Each structure stands twice: as structure tokens, then as C-alpha cells.
Amino acid sequence: MIRKIISGNEAVATAVKLARVGLTGIYPITPQTSIIEKLAEMKAQGEIQTEIVRVESEHSAMAATYGAALAGIRAFTATASQGLLYMHEMVWWVAGSRVPVVMVVGTRAVGAPWNIWNEHTDFTSERDSGWIMAFASNPQEALDLTIQAFRISEDERVFLPVMVGMDGFILSHTKTNVLIPDQEQIDDYLPPRRQPYVIDPEDPVEIGNMFPPEGYMKLRESIHLALKNSEDIIRQHGREYNKKVSPMIDYSTLNSSYRLEDADYAVVLMGAWAGDAMEAIDVLREKGIKIGMLRVRYLRPWSEKEIRENLEGKKGVLVLDRSTSFGRGGPLYIEVKSTIRDTEVKDIVTGLGGVTVGKSDMIYLFSKFVEGIKEDVTWYYPKEVGKLDVRTPRDIE
Amino acid sequence: MTLGLREILNKHNSLISGTAACPGCPENMAMRMLGMGLGKDTVVVVVAGCSSIIQGNAPYNSYNLPVVNIAFAAGPAAASGLARAYKQKGKDVNVVVWAGDGGTADIGFASLSGAAERNEDIIYVCVDNEAYMNSGGQRSGSTPLGAITSTTPEGKKENKKNLPFLMVSHNVPYVATASVGYPHDYIQKLKRAKEIDGFRYIHVLTPDPYGWLFDPSRTAEIAKLAVQTCYWPLFEYYNGKITVSQECLHCLDKRTRRPIKDFLSVQGRFKRVKEDDIAKLEKYIDDMWEKIKELM
């Protein structure tokens, strides 16, 4: 294992290399682009054998990846924002076909208006598509989770595609120390690809053809059950990763917690800003406020068990959403609220479209929450952003 | 040298009896001939359309080949992935995209164009029934001028998008046109395509009794009439040159062409066609043959 200073995108490209991916469908979109550029560079220098298909759109990127996966080779693609929305149709098609595929999403706001900065809405809006959805909080996790994604996706008890989210720019472009596993370690962890059906003239099978209602609904249920049951399988592969590759980050649970055990109050969030939240928690702890954090690492499957165990019995739970479900609040909040009982849950939607929410904002938000605020949903703006005046049609008379 | 049909066909039966096709279905005919031309080592990517219905309800299936059913715009890209995966595994498989004129000329054109530009090692077969027949016969980019469809009840105002020429402009190694009225010609083109590497495009005219409004017993006859009246050319574009099939050599000279009215009058969809529209159609045909002659 070697230590290298690389960005999140380079970490993902490295994971693709280590996983011995057979084909990558590539189409550039900010902030994911440098993943595929790195892969193309590796290919040009003969470092990887991966077949690279330079397609003309994200829709085709997912379709080409799907085709290769059907023919029985390991396949990968990456996208973001509008690109993910453009491939939405194929995202569903792949999950419906129960074909192992791995994708990384460098999260970003969705237009209109144009905005290239970080937000989780593109990612969370795919939560009903039947994919397993992991979310990294640093480049190291982006690498580890991408490798684990292949293992989980190709497990015969799962056979579902997996997407790994990663905060655009904040992780994708920021360089930090990353421990890169050796090829032998990954070969030991990740066996060659196996799948129950391969499209091949030697054994003709059909996939995706017209299904009568009863059969269709049964298939839908099979996806639901596979996704639900993948919870334990993810923990199992996480433990194995800790044993065979690296014990540095604990992957034995779907979610990660910080100073939560003895906490009266809990904060729930997903992604890179967990770092700021941890620092804020340390500050508040020094002031005597008993607060902790639960970081959602898997949005799907949603581990009700872990969420309940960690949050029930707390005096209050504050959810920080970097995404929206308009007219309703944040998707994470909706999930948490529907999981735990007898505990007050409050939601803050913030950090959209790249709005910076740092340690001081978190200290402010957390302490206000502990003091007690009653509204269900609040949109929070850091000071300078709060002063901005954006005119909307309702304001114009 | 021209061989009889019995001699040229591959013994592989690509279509099992009892398909869900309508009586007189030309796509059924074209699919049967696909197996005759390409043989057993073939994978078909079927893009949404009549062909995904003809296949039948799972678990039953009337195609005797591995089939990947897929959304409209994804066919050529999925086929690219399949073809490259087979190459990586050292397998010799004909990867075929099977799409209608809507999937080809309209919603799927970007991915078709992309795969052609990348010169992917796939065969693209467009079965052209000149409207969105599977959704009830709406206008497509490939519907001819004057034809009545459910979204152009007054007759279409624009000419047909000429896809074979568009594909020739993509500089792909092989482009051919065919008609289910001439199985011999179509099967030979499939066999030729099989021998060539890179992107191959075959555009088959498949007259649809229900959209074109003629009796289902006359499908083959109408498919022949389209060629005889020079409305539908039969050619091969290969090595930068067009070769016209003998069935339509008479079209090269305007004086020997059969009148277009003979083709229009047997179909209900042209019943409201006006004289000046017929003149426009004749002009379209003249221009098309001029272009073909330029490339010969």
C-alpha cells in the first residue's frame, strides 16, 4: 500500500484501474470530467487494459456500459448533474435488468439556472431507481467505496447496479492523502466477474422483453427484496475490505457515527461537510453540549435498524440536507423522519448550488437547534448570502 | 453470379412460429431473413417498437437468437458495448441493432450517428415502415410527403429524411438498402455485411398493411411496387461507390421508370394526395436517383 496526494477523481480512476474494469463508457461533464480524462490517460500510457468507449452523450455512456456488462465484462461509467438526468432512462433500465454495473456521480446542482457547483439533488433524485447508493465523505472513501461497489454489485445475492456519490469539487478536485491499495490486495478482495446470465449466442437468452403485469410486478418485488437484503451483504463486504485491504476506515456499518453514543442531540448528514460538522461538534462538546453526528454512507439500502439504534431516544435530531424535494423539505429529512419515532426531527436545507457552509455556520445552526426551534423546515443562508436579493416573478408587481 | 434463394440462405431459423405479429407483417419477414443472412452467431439489440412486441410476452419468445431489448435512443451504444466486450473475450459475434424508422431517423439518431462516427463493429438494420406504427401510425421523419398518418391527417407536408444517404455521409464502410419484396437481394446484402468490419447500415423498406392501408395479403407485392416505381432504390455503398441492384437498373433512366401513381394508388394513406404533391414526390425521386448516379 502506498500513500499519495491525489484528488477524489484520481482516487476513483485508481479504483477503476485496481478493479480491472473491462469497459468504461465515457462522456465528459463537470465535475466528473477528470475521472474519465485520467482513465483515458492511463489507457494511452498502457497502464490499464480497460476498453474506453468515447460516446456522444451520457445516455449512450450508460447504454454502452450496460451492453458490456450484459456481455459479461466488468463495466464502469461516471457522470454528474444534467448528465445523470440525461441518462435517467438508462439508470432505470440497468437496475430493471438486474445487471451489475458501477457508476460514480460527482454531485452537482441541476439547472435551470446554470450552476456547476456542489449539491446532492442530482444524486438523491435517483433514489427510487433500484440502485444501491453509497456516498463518500473524502477521497479515500471514494476509492474504497468504488472498489467495494464492484464486490457488492456482483454478489450473487444482490446483482444490482451500484452508484457512488462524491461531492463535486469539494472531493472531486481537492487533493488529499490517499492510501492506495496494492493490486494483489484488490485481486484477493475482488474475484473475477460472475453473473447469472450473459448475452451470448452459445446460450441464447432474452433480456428486457415485454412482460405481463403479474410477472412485471414480481420482478419489481425481487429488486426491492434484493436491495433490502443487501444491507447485511454490504456490512460483510465492508468487514472483508477492512481485513484484506485496509482497516483505516471502518466499513462494518452502513453509516458512520461521531461522538454519538452519549449524545443528547444528533446531527444527520451525508458527504464531505461531515468534516466541518465534526469540528463544530468538538467545539460544542467543549462548551458542555452533548451532541454527536450520524453520517449517512448508504442512502440505499436505507438501514432502518442502524438509524433507529443511533437516533431513537435522543432529545432531538437535526438533519442537514444538501438537496431538495420541493414543497416537502430535504430527502434525507423525509427518510429520517419516517424511520424514527418519539424523537423530534428538524430539517435544514442549505449549501445548495455550492453555497459554502462551514464550521462556524454549523456551530451556529447546532446551538440554535439545541436551544429549540419549532418550524419543520428551514432554509439556511450563511451571513453574506442572506443579504442577496434575488427577484422572482412573485416579487414583481 | 446469382444463386437461388435455397443456395444462399443460412440454415439458422431466427424466427420461431407463433409470433405476436399482425397478419402480413413485413418486420416479421425481415426478421426471419436476418437469420438466413447472418446465421447463428448473432446477437440482436431490439430497440423499442413493433419488433419488441412481435417477440411476444415473456417467458415466451419468438426470436431464436439472444435478444437485448432496450429503450429507443440506447440501441447503437449498447451494441457498441456488447461488440467491444465480445472482442475482448475473443468471440466472433455479429452484433445487430434492430430499429424502426422512428428509432433511427428521430429519437435514436444521435446515438446512431455517434456509433457510425466511431465506426463501431456492428450491423444496424433499420426496418422502415414510414411512420410510428407501434404507437398507432404517427408521422415520423421517414414518412413520405403526402402520406396520411394519425398526426398528419391532411397528409405530410415534408419529404422523407433520406437516411441511407445520411449514413453514406458518415463515411462508414458499408451502407445498403433492401426491400422485403426482394428477399434474395436483402439476404445477400446481409451476408456481404457480415464479411465486412466496422459499422454497417442496412435500411429495409417494410410496407405495413395497417399503416399504409392495403390488404395484408399484399405486403410483398407492395414492397416490390415500391422498387419497381423507383420510389425505393436497392443499392449497396461499398468502397466509396454505389452499386445498384439489377431489380432497379431501369430507374437509372427516367424514361424507363414505372409511374409513381402505380405505387400510390394501391395504398389508402395516399388517397388525399394532390397532383402537385405527386409532382413533388416525382422531384424527390428524380433528385435521389441523380445522387445515386453521382456516387456510382
Give yes or no: residues A83 and A216 share one domain: yes
Give yes or no: residues A217 and A266 share one domain: no
HEC per residue, A294-321: EECCEEECCCHHHHHHHHCCCCEEEEEE
Q: What is the mean pLDDT of residues B271-283?
A: 95
φ, ψ dihedrals at B244, nearest 5°:
-90, 135
Give yes or no: residues A230 and A305 share one domain: no
B53 and A210 within 8 Å at the Cβ level: the answer is: yes
Distance linking the first and last C-alpha atoms of chain A: 64
Which ipTM did the prediction report?
0.94
Give yes or no: residues A95 and A74 share one domain: yes
Please report, for chain B, the start and end positions of each structural domain, with discontinuous segments joined by +. Answer: 5-295
Looking at the complex, report in whole angstroms how far the Cα of residue B159 sits from the nearest Cα belonging to chain A.
Answer: 27
In a domain, A300, yes or no: yes
Q: Is the pLDDT of residue A373 over 70?
A: no
3-state secondary structure of A103: strand
Q: Is the pLDDT of residue A371 over 90?
A: no
Residue span of the structural domain in which A352 resides: 253-377
In a domain, A135, yes or no: yes
Q: Is the pLDDT of residue B1 over 60?
A: no
In a domain, A393, yes or no: no
Give yes or no: residues A156 and A273 share one domain: no
The CATH number given to whatever domain includes residue A360 is: 3.40.50.920
Give yes or no: residues A236 and A308 share one domain: no
Determine contact: B61 vs chain A, CB below 8 A. Answer: yes
Give yes or no: residues A220 and A283 share one domain: no
In a domain, A296, yes or no: yes
In a domain, A396, yes or no: no
Distances (CA, A) of B219 to A19, B177, B193, B222: 53, 18, 25, 5
Last residue of a domain, one of A243, A263, A290: A243
Strand segments, DSSP code E, in chain B are 42-47, 67-70, 94-100, 123-128, 174-179, 200-205, 235-238, 241-244
Determine contact: A211 vs chain B, CB below 8 A. Answer: yes
Give yes or no: residues A91 and A121 share one domain: yes
Give yes or no: residues A288 and A354 share one domain: yes
B82 and A67 within 8 Å at the Cβ level: the answer is: yes
Query: A82-100 burial, b if ≥16 CB within 10 A, otherwise e?
Result: bbbbbbbbbbbbbbbbbbb
Q: So what's the pLDDT on residue A377? A: 60
Q: Is the pLDDT of residue B11 over 80?
A: no
Q: Which of B67, B71, B110 sits opposite A57 (nearest CB)?
A: B110
In a domain, A145, yes or no: yes
Q: Is the pLDDT of residue B151 over 50?
A: yes
The CATH number given to whatever domain includes residue A184 is: 3.40.50.970
A200 and B66 within 8 Å at the Cβ level: the answer is: yes
Q: Give chain A's domain count.
A: 2
Give yes or no: residues A32 and A111 share one domain: yes
pLDDT digits (tens, 9 = 90+) for A257-306: 999 999 999 999 999 999 999 999 999 999 999 999 999 999 999 999 99
- The fraction of chain A above a pLDDT of 90, given in percent, is 90
Per the prediction, chain A carries an average pLDDT of: 95
Give yes or no: residues A311 and A227 share one domain: no
Give yes or no: residues A69 and A185 share one domain: yes
Closest of A201, A180, A346, A161 to residue A267, by C-alpha: A346
B5-295 placed in CATH 3.40.50.970: yes
